[in-house]
Amino acid sequence: MNEQAKQFKFVGTRPIRPDGVDKVTGRAMYGADLTLPGMLEGKVVRSPHAHARIKSIDTSKAEALNGVKSVVTAADMPEAESKPVAAGEAMINFRDLAENVIARHKVFYEGQTVAAVAATSNEIAERAAALIEVEYEVLPHVIDVLDAMKDDAPVLHDHIFTGGVTPKPEKPSNVANRVEFALGDIDAGFAAADIVIERKFTTEPVHQAYIEPHAVVADMGPDGKADVWCSSQGHFMVRSFCAGLLKIEMSKIKVSAAEIGGGFGGKTTVYLEPLAIMLSRKAGRPVRMVMSREEIFRASGPTSGAAMTIKIGATKDGRITAGDATLCLQAGAFPGSPVGPAAMTAFAPYDLENVRVVGFDVVSNRPKVVAYRAPGAPISEYAVESVVDELASELGLDPIEFRAKNGAKEGTQAAYGVKFGTIGMQETLEAAKATEHYKIPLGPNQGRGVATGFWFNIGGESCAGIRINEDGSVSLTEGSPDIGGSRASMAIMAAEVLGIDVAKIKPSVVDTDATGYHFVTGGSRVTFATGMAVVDASKAAIDELRARAAKIWDVDVDGVVWEDGHAKPASTNVGDFEPMSLAEIAAIANKTGGPISGHADINAKGAGPGFGTHICDVEVDPDTGFVTVLRYTAVQDVGRAIHPSYVEGQLQGGAAQGIGWALNEAYMYDEDGKLENAGFLDYRVPVASDLPMIDTILVEIPNPTHPFGVRGVGEVPIIPPLAAVNNAVAAATGVRFTALPLSPPAILAGTGAGD
Amino acid sequence: MVKVALTSGTASQFTDGKTEVNVTAQNVRQMVAALEGKFPGLGTEIQQSMSVAIDGVILPDPFLETVNEDSEIFILPKIGGG
Amino acid sequence: MAKQHITTTINGEEAEYLCEAQETLLDVLRDQVGLTGTKEGCSSGDCGACSVMLDGRLVCSCLVLGVEAEGKTVETIEGMADGEELHPLQQKFLEEAALQCGFCTPGVLVAAKALLDVNDDPTETEVRYWLAGNLCRCTGYDKIIRAVMDTAADLRGASA
């Protein structure tokens, strides 16, 4: 059955989300909302230094404090083995993960965990944390990525020798890895160009800045079984990492997914969870840990800052002949920046014969980066899209037409090697060009910028269960933490396949004991992959419903079809039977073989690549350098919008985050390597008064591998805004800026108005 | 024989710079084993930290998928996401 | 230090609690009264997730001490719906998908209700500035602003 060819009854509609009422009434339970009897509060002791050797840790005074029930240091944790694991975006080493959870011999950034304590109240826990005495030998530190690459830079890790180069280096280095992707002959490509533009760019690290702090409640009993409740993008990830770090069998750790108050990639790893389990194990009581906002900024996230060189050549008639990029990305304290995806996506929106991208993964004394929405892509595509825009401008070509002329199509070989299947890059450009927005005349000091973005999207492991209840209602179970309304999409897809009203289906994200392994909610994969599992599980349930109808009618199961929520005879030859509804079959399930259900456990393949094109209008105040975003339109190929409101929401939210990245957000360090702006007052995410309405256009080029044509949509929309804003500012000021954020002082420095 | 394309970075590390190599295999498992035999370390690297794309579809956990001489095969880094 | 005994009115009901002098109203609501709908996002008054009404004034409960509620009235998200009947803002937020993760939603709703209580016909700019103290990282604010304005229009229509 080809689902894509059918007219849909529920797919594409906008029902109220099943978890909605709980979320507008304050009933929804997030990470910090659980209280257990006898629960202790846990606090973390963090490094005040950017780089130091830990000489000793004395916990005796803390342990002697009345009300303190347990203290944990690295000495309590098993030694972790060195092995690569997938952690959200890139591979990271398990030993590094262990050290990031709690430092063993050295601290590599200000804010790194050194010890943790649990006590009967927050206040006592805080006093106890202050009583833990750590003696440090402070070491020279390095913050900036280019400084960290210098020969005389302080080396963070003696065991890191630059990978990806031959011969293997003899000296340890902060450059953990080199990647390279190349196609064709770039020298010949540049020789054929009439115009070549080369520019150097920088971007600053930015934080995912989910509003809900990391939070966990862990309860480990004397039988060695642990119950963990936490806010994460993957409770199976939490189980797997905690089991590995603490050397506990997975079956002994049950993780329940609290409602999650935003993640954006930042909750695809563990920080507090293993500590909470250890504190609970030692105290014999449940322990809650919640990060403060300051701790979130200093010790979790962010994504990489970067230094990049981009060179692109084109002919007079607007054909790009070659692209060359060098990307240096900060990994933070341990290897594993998103330099791989940054390099692969840099030129991916274009059909180019000659490309080379070289990337470096560089450690420095900052918190270890973690995934942030399309990790790496906003960074590299910002730089490329800024040069593409400048080329169009120099050649006197419309920026959308220039992109269309060079844009990827079905069959285009991307710079990272793979040939694209069905994609919607050209369609998003056409839709953007056709908007009213693109035609609105601009006033003085105003400018319009356009940019495109590409992201792979991924599949991965997901499971789903459909249980047909005795009254004909349906319980749907899966294990992908729902950040932005995915339970609504799961219910819609199940309703569409089963042919019953969406309100009859109750979707739940169940704990790690109740379903199979799920990869994290990340990579824009949930509606695609978990959705695919839901469709398969629904079909399995239908097969069972058909079998039951066949038994009731005493016919062969092949003689029964499923249509509009009813079992029907396939033809008059089968017999003259009244169709039986799902509820009618369910009501007598006990007589036909017992409860009816369908299950699917899959590793989804064939995620469809996503493309978006954004248009941004800005006005730049010539006196203050302040940039106001006047209008914004986000166009994206979404494959198929299951619940269009939440798809639009992804585009709008991604655009807002990208605008923040472009205009406001940055990590700022002092000379001692300490973060100076660890709070929302000084790290300014966009507020309501900073933004205009964000118009969306959903282009639907169905992904042929998904039953409903779904492509991931969550990550693409954060990619184009950086360059769209940058290009708009260039149009408004006549200056091509090459560093983010475009803060008022930076604008004034660039336009010369601040002199 | 199947043709396997490597990124230039991987090629410089394992195959003396050759970005296209040929091995005899009927599925990914055999292909990875053959690559390891021919270019020591490459198969391990693929298993630990790389994806295989076959005919445009990126597979993060490739193993049993069939390959033949018409397959377009690329070895590339694993992709996750936020 | 001896705890202080506080008598106050929360969501229309008299309430009593014991709290330390330094405890915030946010901590008291969440940990002692059991009203966890009010969220903690920053503890510094920057994110608005802990917005509540104190004697009819919109405040960040992380910037108010628990003892300051003595003799006053506190309104939280838990008091916004009338039993099973949602407040029009709550209903509109659901219909227009004006939330994603939902963590900022209680604070946004409390703040938005405070706006509509004093201004039944706010402009987009007024809504944006009124809610500028309520951070949302998921939605880009678009659907939130629309939902507040659409609710205001509905309420004006209903009372006209």
Two tokens at A76? 């309590």
Neighboring chain A residues of C105 at a CB cutoff of 8 Å: 23-24
Check: CB of residue A446 under 8 Å from CB of residue A618.
Answer: yes
What's the distance, CA A678 to chain centroid?
A: 22
> Are C137 and A209 in contact (CB < 8 Å)?
yes
* Cβ-based contacts of B53 with chain A (< 8 Å): 417-418
The answer to whether residue A685 neighbours chain C at the CB level (below 8 Å) is yes
β-sheet with A566-569: strand ranges across: A560-563, A566-569, A580-581
* Best to test chain A binding among C142, C143, C144 (most A CBs inside 10 Å): C142
Q: How many separate domains does chain C show?
A: 2
Residue whose token pair is 């599925």 = B27
- Give the pair of three-digit tokens for residue A543: 């097969």
Mean pLDDT over A489-504 rounds to 98
Q: Are strands C4-10 and B57-59 parallel, antiparallel or unpaired?
A: unpaired
- Chains touching C, CB cut-off 8 Å, 3+ pairs: A
User: Taking Cα atoms as reference points, which of A301, A391, A408 lies closest to residue A657?
Assistant: A301
Segment A295-319 shows an average pLDDT of 97
- Which residue's structure tokens are 């304590």? A117
Architecture category of domain A34-139+212-261+267-299 in CATH: Alpha-Beta Complex (3.90)
Mark which of C79, C100, C124 sits at the end of a domain.
Answer: C79
Residues C136 and C98 in one domain: yes
Residues 6+ apart with CB under 8 A from A695: A435, A437, A631, A632, A633, A634
Q: From the CA of A392, how many Å to the nearest CA of chain C? A: 30
Identify the chains in contact with B, defined as 3+ C-beta pairs within 8 A.
A
* Rounded distance between C-alpha atoms, residue A650 and residue A528, angstroms: 15
Cross-chain Cβ contact B56/A180 below 8 Å: no
| Domain end position, chosen among C79, C97, C118 | C79
Rounded CA gap, A160 and A149, in Å? Answer: 13
pLDDT bin (cut points 50, 70, 90) of residue A87 is: low
Mean pLDDT of A309-335: 98
Spatial CB neighbours of C77, under 8 Å, sequence gap ≥ 6:
A25, A26, C37, C38, C106, C107, C109, C110
pLDDT of A421 > 50? The answer is yes
Single out the residue of A194, A397, A380, A243 nearest to residue A305, CA to CA: A380
pLDDT (average), residues C127-154: 98
How much is the average pLDDT of C78-93?
Answer: 97
Domains A3-27+459-604 and A34-139+212-261+267-299 share a fold: no
Flag whether residue C86 sits within 8 Å of chain A, measured between CB atoms: yes
* Tokens read off for A108: 């590599």
Instruction: Identify the three-state secondary structure at position A724.
Output: helix
Nearest-CA distance A737 → chain B (Å): 27
Contacts of A122 in chain C (CB under 8 A): 27
Work out the minimum CA distance from C7 to partner chain A, whole angstroms: 23
C36 in contact with A, Cβ within 8 Å: yes
Query: Strand C13-19's sheet: what is its strand order?
Result: C13-19, C4-10, C73-75, C51-54, C57-60
CATH architecture assignment, domain A306-457+608-751: 2-Layer Sandwich (3.30)
Burial class (CB in 10 A: 0-12, 13-18, 19+), B47: middle
Comparing A379-383, A632-636, A719-723, B72-76, the range with the smallest average pLDDT is B72-76
Q: C66 with C117, same domain? A: no
DSSP percent split of chain C into helix, strand, coil, nearest 5: 40, 20, 40
d(CA A118, CA A280): 8
Interface test with B, best of A418, A525, A527 (most B CBs within 10 A): A418
In chain C, residues with a C-beta closer than 8 Å to the C-beta of A26 are: 35-38, 76-78, 106
Q: In what order do the strands lie in the sheet with A694-699?
A: A446-455, A610-620, A627-637, A694-699
- Cβ distance of A649 and C43 shorter than 8 Å: no
Spatial CA neighbour of A517 closest among A235, A267, A258: A235
Provide DSSP, A263-285: -TTTTSS-SSHHHHHHHHHHHTS
- Asked if A293 lies within 8 A of C41 by C-beta distance, the reply is yes
Q: How many CB pairs under 8 A join A and B?
A: 119
**A interface test, pick of C62, C87, C100 with most A CB neighbours within 10 Å:** C100
Residue with tokens 């900052």: A366
In the numeric block, the tokens 């996002």 are attached to C41
Q: Which residues of chain A are within 8 Å of residue C94 when distances are taken between CB atoms? A: 16-17, 20-21, 24
- Give pLDDT, residue C74: 98
Partners of residue A216 on adjacent β-strands: A230, A289
User: What does the alpha-carbon distance between residue B12 and residue B16 come to, in Å, rounded to a whole number?
Assistant: 5
Say whether both C113 and C55 belong to one domain.
no
User: Cis link prior to A302 (omega < 30° from 0)?
Assistant: yes
A34 has pLDDT over 70: yes
Q: Do A458 and B72 touch (CB under 8 A)?
A: no
Of B49, B59, B61, the CB nearest to A84: B49
Q: What is the DSSP string of A88-137?
A: TTEEEEHHHHHHHHS-SSEE-STT-EEEEEEESSHHHHHHHHHH-EEEEE
Q: Is-contact A300 A291, C-beta < 8 A? A: yes
Residues 6+ apart with CB under 8 A from A184: A322, A352, A353, A354, A355
Q: How far apart are CA B82 and CA A521, in angstroms?
A: 8
Cβ contact (<8 Å) for B9 and A181? yes
Owning domain of residue C65 = 4-79
pLDDT for residue A1: 41
Positive or negative torsion for Cα C5, C9, C10, C14: positive
Q: Please give the pLDDT value at position A92.
A: 78
The architecture CATH gives domain B2-77:
Roll (3.10)
Output b/e per residue, A635-667; b: 16+ Cβ within 10 A. Answer: bbbbbbbbbbbbbbbbbbbbbbbbbbbbbbbbb
A-chain CB neighbours of B55 within 8 Å are 419
C-alpha A380/C-alpha A150 separation (Å) is 22
Alpha helices (H) along chain C: 25-27, 88-95, 105-118, 124-130, 142-159
Region of A139 (left: φ > 0; alpha: ψ -120 to 50; beta: rest) is beta
Best of B3, B7, B75 to disrupt the A interface by mutation (most A CBs within 10 Å)?
Answer: B7
For residue A162, the Cα-to-chain-centroid distance in whole angstroms is 27
- Residue A321's pLDDT is 98
**Which residues touch A251 (CB under 8 Å, ≥6 apart)?**
none
At residue A88, does pLDDT exceed 70? no
pLDDT digits (tens, 9 = 90+) for A113-145: 999 999 999 999 999 999 999 999 999 999 999
Q: Do A455 and B81 touch (CB under 8 A)?
A: yes
Q: Indicate the pLDDT class of residue A755, thresholds 50, 70 and 90.
A: low
Say whether pLDDT at A66 is over 90.
yes
Give the mutation candidate from C96, C125, C138, C143 for the A interface (greatest A CB count, under 10 A). C138
Residue with tokens 């629309």: C146
CATH node for A3-27+459-604: 3.30.365.10
Structural domain ending residue among the three candidates C52, C79, C106: C79
**For the domain that residue C64 is a member of, what is the CATH number?**
3.10.20.30
* Contact status, residue B34 vs residue B67, Cβ threshold 8 Å: no
Residue found under tokens 């401008």: A393
ipTM: 0.98
pLDDT digit string (tens) for A441-488? 999 999 999 999 999 999 999 999 999 999 999 999 999 999 999 999
The model's confidence at residue A83, banded by pLDDT at 50, 70 and 90, is: confident
Q: Answer whether A358's CB lies under 8 Å from A327's CB.
A: yes
d(CA C12, CA A712): 45
> What part of B 48-67 touches A (C-beta under 8 Å)?
48-49, 53, 55-61
Dist. CA A565–CA A503, nearest whole Å: 14
Q: What is the 3-state secondary structure (H, E, C) of A204-260?
A: CCCCCCCCCCCEEEEEECCCCCEEEEECCCCHHHHHHHHHHHHCCCHHHEEEEECEC
Residue contact B80–A166, C-beta within 8 A: no
* Alpha-carbon span A744 to C82, nearest angstrom: 47
What percent of chain A has a predicted confidence (pLDDT) above 70? 98
**Is there a contact between A373 and A456 (Cβ–Cβ < 8 Å)?**
no
CB nearest to C93's CB, from A24, A211, A654: A24
Mean pLDDT of the region B26-35: 96
Q: Does pLDDT of A702 surpass 50?
A: yes
**Which residues of chain C does A645 touch, with a Cβ-Cβ cutoff of 8 Å?**
96-97, 143
Closest chain A residue to C140, measured at CA: A653
Chain A residue numbers touching B9 (CB-CB < 8 A): 164, 178-181, 358
3-class DSSP assignment, residue A455: strand
- Does A679 sit within 8 Å of C42, measured CB to CB? yes
- The full set of domain ranges for chain B reads 2-77
Residue A482 structure tokens: 């729902």
For residue A334, which of A75, A103, A146 has the smallest C-alpha distance? A103
Q: Please judge whether C90 and A24 are an interchain contact, meaning their C-beta atoms are less than 8 angstroms apart.
A: yes
Taking the CA atoms of A419, A420, A421 and A427 in sequence, report the sign of the dihedral they define: negative
- In degrees, to the nearest 5, what angle opens at C-alpha A171 toward C-alphas A165 and A172? 85
DSSP state, residue A352: -
Q: How far is CA A397 from the centre of its chain?
A: 35
Q: Does A95 touch chain C (CB under 8 A)?
A: no
Radius of gyration of chain C measured on its C-alpha atoms: 16
User: Which CATH number covers residue C94?
Assistant: 1.10.150.120
Write out residues 9-28 of B within 8 Å (CB-CB) of A: 9, 12-13, 19
Cβ within 8 Å of residue A610, ≥6 positions away: A454, A455, A456, A457, A524, A636, A637, A638, A639, A711, A712, A713, A715, A716
The alpha carbon dihedral of A91, A95, A96, A102 has a sign of positive
Burial of C84 (0-12, 13-18, 19+ CB in 10 A): exposed
Write down the domain spans for chain A. 3-27+459-604, 34-139+212-261+267-299, 306-457+608-751
* pLDDT for the residue numbered A4: 58
Same-domain status, C96 and C70: no
Confirm or reject contact between C51 and chain A (CB < 8 A).
no
A328-364: per-residue pLDDT in tens? Answer: 999 999 999 999 999 999 999 999 999 999 999 999 9
Q: Which band of pLDDT confidence, cut at 50, 70 and 90, is reported for residue C2?
A: confident
Average of per-residue pLDDT across A241-249:
96
User: Over chain A, what is the mean pLDDT?
Assistant: 96
Which of A484, A680, A689 has its CB closest to that of C138?
A484
Amino acid symbol at A209: A
Q: Which amino acid is at A56?
A: S
Q: Are A526 and A490 in contact (CB under 8 A)?
A: no
The alpha carbon of residue A61 is apart from the nearest alpha carbon of chain C, in Å, by 21
